[in-house]
Amino acid sequence: MKPPEPQPVPQHVAIIMDGNGRWAERRGLPRRRGHEEGARSVEAVLRACKQAGVRYLTLFAFSTENWRRPRAEIQGLMQLLARFLDSHEDDLLREQIRLRAIGRLDDLPRAVRATLRRVMDRTAGFANRELILALSYGSRDEITQAVRAIAAEVKAGTLAIGDIDEAAVSRHLLPPTCPIPTC
């Protein structure tokens, strides 16, 4: 039997970090514990991406819908995010991984935004690998923002309606400089 053909390595992998709270509840643990385990799994995913040669990793870590969770859970998630950034900043620098974030970042608590900005600024010069955190992110919100930006260009006369194509839409999606994740 002939071995299977090797598959090309995707440039961009995206993971929806969902189900961590339910994982913990099924095991009789607090939801917070599931979120902590999910954060720990990021290290293994980053290692696997490096070994496989994946350049971009997007983690959908906190959706716009997550703001509807209980206040204590949201605060715990924000604290976990800040701790993750603090504890992995040196790793990102050592591995030369650029950190970026997409979503409604202004919705995040000020201290979390400051930590996020610091790590993004310190890793901004790296170009070989990227970790993209989707925070306070929603695909419908992203599409709405893209449509508004395109409509503004049409209104300003800098874009003709006939020139709206996939490339024009892609330029307005987040982040516009990354290839689309591979399925």
Active site residues: 18, 66
Contact status, residue 110 vs residue 37, Cβ threshold 8 Å: no
In this structure, what token pair is assigned to residue 18?
């969902």
The answer to whether 34 touches 22, Cβ cutoff 8 Å, is yes
DSSP assignment string, 24-82: HHHTT--HHHHHHHHHHHHHHHHHHHHHHT--EEEEEEEEGGGGGS-HHHHHHHHHHHH
